[in-house]
Structure formats: structure tokens, C-alpha cells
Amino acid sequence: MERKNVLVSEADLAVQRDFQKKIKDMFTAREAHPVACVDTFGCQQNVADGQKLMGMLEEMGFTFTDKAAEADLVILNTCAVREHAEDRVFGNLGALTHSKKENPEQVICLCGCMAQEPRVSERIKKSYLHVNLVFGPHALWKFPELLWRVYERRKRVFSVDDEHGTIAEGIPVVRERGVKAWVSIMYGCNNFCSYCIVPYVRGRERSRDPECVLAEVRELVAAGYKDITLLGQNVNSYGNDLDIGYDFSDLLADIDRIEGEYLIRFMSSHPKDATKKLFDTMAASRHVAHQLHLPFQSGNDRVLQEMNRRYTREKYLSLVNYAKSVMPDLVLTSDVIIGFPGETEEEAMDTVSLVDEVGFDALFTFIYSPRPGTKAAAMPDPATRAEKQKWFDKLLEVQNAKSAALHAAYIGKTVRVLVDGKSDDPDYPLTSRTQGNRLVRIRGGEELMGRFLNVKITDSNTWALYGEAEE
Ligand code: SAM
Ligand code: SF4
Ligand code: F3S
């Protein structure tokens, strides 16, 4: 794929800005004050996409609500990664028939990863007639034009063509007020892990120009954001498609030179492409958090091969050992799947033993969910749900004990945290994060929000630390 075909041209983006204006003018002429509800499911990439949708909507004159019943426009920005995620969206779509009855002018959109699955868009076309607009991640930048078509023609609009994907720079973004910001540095995935739907719905890997990423991070730091996460399905292959001899470590090192008080995080890292250079760059940086989300998925080599992950248990362990040797304070998290088709109890216990051996600070654990169209969905899957649940419970038991022990070891220590939110616990009304992204619940008033503090850890449990700010 040639680079010049990947970037959406300035002229095409200008056309979309014209559509934004047309919609705004239409509402102004009607003296209407349109309200939108954008409901985002799934990963941080989808959250970042949702913020772009809100950016475009703001330009069209919309304000926002989180109550679908009060909205003129409802957008479900969906995730396709597991069946459960899809079921929730179909449930929500069903419920919207009531709000549409109350307000027949309400416009309902379904976008995101589910929309890009032909199986889903066909089902919406046939059975969810109250949905006005369906578009996949590839069409996100054309949202103003698609929405204009809905308003102008009052017809249903579907934009779900299968594409390799593009990069559209300069789309406005509505970010959460506060301290955290997301920056997509690349889109798509080339890895085709055999269980995963993402490469089918998000297209091929394409990296943003380093200058665009650097400019965005500079702006965020200047605007006071202090906790910035770089996003990609596999940030370790950033730059492969740029052909300029510039990789993810180079990008991190360049970002690190930006002056200010802020932290840089990133996710996700694929172990097959993680390098010593990356860990050395993290260790030598001023702003890159010593935190690594390095999904291993399985601790058994046969299962890893069937998953098409392209590393072994041994390679994974050697990466982790190297990373810990150059960053002794590294906070390590991972994703893991139990019950991949054909996995035996013994193989699942290899995963449990890897968890025991490594000592992850936290794990995101999933029971395998077949995704139609992926290679694994066609594999024989003899283990019962009850067996998989038993293996899964064992995994959780081991991990929860690890997390609790790792957290207990913080008691009595002083850690530097960034105060990032409020909690509903009256004894510990603020939440904060360590450099390694561990949750620390603290006492104190709202004036501490957005500040870096030294906090003495006084208590802990499996999920969080508790502490008090030092003078
Ligand atoms: N690109 C990231 C990577 O490879 O590390 C992961 C992205 S995926 C959206 C997040 C996690 O969902 C994966 O790491 C995997 O553990 C899990 N996942 C993906 N497909 C799944 C499936 N079919 N069933 C269960 N879990 C799944
Ligand atoms: Fe899915 Fe694998 Fe790509 Fe991650 S690397 S998004 S798990 S295909
Ligand atoms: Fe889900 Fe799409 Fe993210 S499938 S996990 S929202 S890339």
C-alpha cells in the first residue's frame, strides 16, 4: 500500500468541514439546539474515535448528554471483540425503539467495529429499521457527509465498505476535561491472531507521521494534560509502513524531549516486536512511565502457535526479564485468553504457571469468544464452558493472590502519584495513579486534582492502594 494513498487529502477534509457547516446552518435556521448522546464501547482506540465524533458534532452545533432519551442524535460507537460486547449493543439498540417512538425525529447511528462486520450491518438493515446511519471505522472521517445525507434525504445510510484504511489528520477532538489524553499513533493491525476480529474491522497497519504525533503531544502538554497514552493495536510496529528508518523507540525518544511535567504511556505492545531498544529507551527517558502492557495470551507454545502469536513462552519470559533488569520498578500488565479452541486443561495450567512465574501487577482475563470469520472460529472446540470456567477461576485465584501481595508490599512506602479523579468513597474521595498506573485512593480536596504528589501508602487490597499525601 503506498503512503500517498493512505492520507486523506486536505481537499477531502475541507469538503467534510463544509458539511459540518451545512448541518450547523440547518439547525440555526430552525432555531434548534441539537443534543447528541455518544455511547462508546470497547478499547481506548474506540474512546479516541468517540472523541473525534464529538469534535465533529461540536462543530455542527451539538451539545452533549449521556441520556439517550433526551438526545436528538444517538450514536452507539461499538466493539466487536467478544460476543458479549455485541450482545450489549443489540440490547441497547432494541431499547432505543422506545425513545424513537417518543421522538420520531431522533436519529440513531451505529458505528465502530461492529458496523464494519457484514453480518452485523445486514442484520441492522433487515431487523433494526429504526437505525438511520451505519458506518465503520474506515468512514469515520466522512461522518459529517453521511449525517447530512440522513438529514437531507431522510433515508437510511450505510457506509461499510471493506478497505485497507486511511489516516485523516486534523479532525477536531472533544477531550475529557482533566489530566488524561489519548493519542492514536497508528491504526489497524496486520497480525491476524487467529481468534481476533480486529484486523478484519480496522484494516491494515498505518502509522501517523511522527511530526503530526509530536505536534499533538506538544499541544496536549501545553494545554495541561499530564498523563498521555499513545495508542495502537501494536505500537511496536509503528513506523514499519513509513519506510524512513524510524521506529516506535525513536518516536518515544523524540516525545521525551518535549519539556514539561507529564507522563507518557502506551498500549498495546506485541511481544513478537518488542525490542531491547524499546526497553532501553523507556529506562533512559524522563517522561515515559515504567509501565508495560505486554499481552501474552497463553503460556503454552502449542496454543501460542495456533493463536498465530509468533513467539514462545521462553521468548516472552526473556523479554520480561530484560525489561525488569533495566527497569526494576517496572509495572507489568497483560491480556490472557482461557479456553482457546482445542486447549486442554494441562495447556491452560501452563498459562496459570506463567502468571505465577512472572507476577503481573494486573491482568485482563478473557474466556475465548468465537468471532465469526476468524480462523479460530472454525477450529474444533471440545472443552465445555464449565471446564473453561474452572480453569479461568483458577487463573483468577492465582492472579488475585499475586496482585494482593504486590499491593501489600507498597504499605509504608512513599510513591509519587498524579491525582486524576473523584471517587464515591467518602473516606478516600480522590483517585490517583502511580507512574506504573496503579490505582491509589487518597484523602484530600478537589484542589489537588491534576497535581503530582508524594503519597504514603497506608493500606491495600487486590485492586487498589490507599494513602495519604505527604506535606
Ligand atoms: N492488539 C492488542 C494485542 O495484541 O495485545 C490487543 C487488542 S484486543 C482488542 C484486546 C484483548 O482482547 C486481546 O489481547 C485478547 O486478550 C482479547 N481478545 C481478542 N479477541 C478475543 C476473543 N475472540 N475472545 C476472547 N478474548 C479476545
Ligand atoms: Fe488482535 Fe492480534 Fe491484532 Fe492484537 S495483535 S489486535 S490480538 S490480531
Ligand atoms: Fe473492540 Fe474494535 Fe477496540 S473490536 S477492542 S473497539 S479495536
Structural domain that includes position 206: 175-289
Report the 10 Å Cβ neighbour count for 462. 16
193 and 133 belong to one structural domain: no
At 117, which CATH number?
3.40.50.280
CB of 234 sitting under 6 A from ligand 1? yes
10-29 vs 44-59: helix axis angle to the nearest 10? 60
Gap between the Cα atoms of 147 and 60, Å rounded: 10
133 and 235 belong to one structural domain: no
Q: From 198, 364, 366, 374, give the residue whose CB has the most ligand 3 atoms within 8 Å, as the site to mutate.
A: 198
Grid coordinates belonging to 331: 509495572
At 184, which CATH number?
3.30.750.210
144 and 248 belong to one structural domain: no
Total tally of structural domains belonging to the chain = 3
Placement of cell 484486523 in the chain: 199
116 and 78 belong to one structural domain: yes
Grid coordinates belonging to 318: 526473556
Alpha carbon separation from 290 to 209, 281, 438 (Å, rounded)? 25, 11, 11
Residue 76 maps to a domain: yes
Ligand closest to Cα of 43 equals: 3
Q: Would you write out the chain's pLDDT as a tens digit for each of its 471 residues? A: 456 679 999 999 999 999 999 999 999 999 999 999 999 999 999 999 999 999 999 999 999 999 999 999 999 999 999 999 999 999 999 999 998 999 999 999 999 999 999 999 999 999 999 999 999 999 999 999 999 999 999 899 999 999 899 999 999 999 988 899 999 999 999 999 999 999 999 999 999 999 999 999 999 999 999 999 999 999 999 999 999 999 999 999 999 999 999 999 999 999 999 999 999 999 999 999 999 999 999 999 999 999 999 999 999 999 999 999 999 999 999 999 999 999 999 999 999 999 999 999 999 999 999 999 999 999 999 999 999 999 999 999 999 999 999 999 999 999 999 999 998 899 999 999 999 999 999 999 989 999 999 999 999 999 999 999 997
57 and 86 belong to one structural domain: yes
Residue 375 maps to a domain: no
112 and 38 belong to one structural domain: yes
The amino acid at residue 260 is G
Residue 193 maps to a domain: yes
CA 238 to chain centre: 16
Gap between the Cα atoms of 267 and 331, Å rounded: 13
Q: From 44, 186, 196, give the residue whose CB has the most ligand 1 atoms within 8 Å, as the site to mutate.
A: 196
Counting from 1 in the atom list of ligand 3, the atom nearest the Cα of 44 is 3
Collapsed DSSP state (helix, strand, coil) of residue 249 = helix
Residue that is last in its domain, among 269, 289, 309: 289
89 and 28 belong to one structural domain: yes
Q: What is the pTM of this model?
A: 0.96
Residue 338 maps to a domain: no
Q: List the residue whose alpha carbon is closest to atom 5 of ligand 2.
A: 191
Residue 41 maps to a domain: yes
Residue 461 maps to a domain: yes
Gap between the Cα atoms of 293 and 304, Å rounded: 18
Q: List the residue whose alpha carbon is closest to atom 1 of ligand 3.
A: 79
What sign does the dihedral 226-232-236-239 (CA atoms) show?
negative
292 close to 326: Cβ distance less than 8 angstroms:
no
The angle subtended at Cα 81 by Cα 44 and Cα 348, nearest 5°, is 110
Write down the H helix ranges in 327-369: 345-358
Ligand closest to Cα of 111 equals: 3
21 and 128 belong to one structural domain: yes
Ligand closest to Cα of 235 equals: 1
239 and 110 belong to one structural domain: no
Residue that is last in its domain, among 289, 322, 338: 289
